[in-house]
Amino acid sequence: MERNPLRRQLQIMRKSLFDQGYLDEQFVQLEELQDDSNPNFVEEVVTLYYRDSARLILNLEQALERKPYNFNKLDAYMHQFKGSSSSIGAKKVKAESTLFREYCKSGNGEGCMRCFQQLKKEYATLRKKLEAYFQLARQAGPMETACRPK
């Protein structure tokens, strides 16, 4: 058990991100790529994700303002967004992306719109949680190794 209180708090926060379904195994894969030579790799990749995906969110918003919907275009944007989300282990965001693509394939515009609103909520929630997590991680100092949630 971690004795350092900040690290203990960090472990608890990390575990809850997995237990509540915000993150999946892919996040652990990213942690395993982090080492002394690249100690902030995970935070850097997540930062890259939020920067890049903001562009895709904007594209989707603009595409959803145009009627009739171009479902092929919407699907193409979401394919990219889903890919990035999957790469950082953003489990709930990825699930909403999958649902959105299904609505695109069935030509369900209302479904797309509803799903997109939910996706943005999940995306924003994850961002806040990860920002808090990385802020605490910086205070706590480097943890020893990535570990899979029990």
Phi and psi torsions of 24, nearest 5°: -125, -170
Q: Alpha-carbon distance 128 to 101, whole Å?
A: 25
**Binding positions for another protein, 32-71, rule CB under 8 A:** 32-33, 35, 38, 41, 44-45, 48-49, 52
Nearer to another protein, 2 or 131 (CB): 131
CA 117 to chain centre: 15
How many residues interact with another protein (rule CB under 8 A)?
A: 21
Residues 6-35 vs another protein: string with x where CB under 8 A? --------------------x--xx-xx-x
CA–CA separation, 115 and 106 (whole Å) = 14
Contact indicator for 115, 96 with CB cutoff of 8 Å: yes
Site string (82-111) toward another protein, x via CB under 8 A: xxx-xxx-----------------------
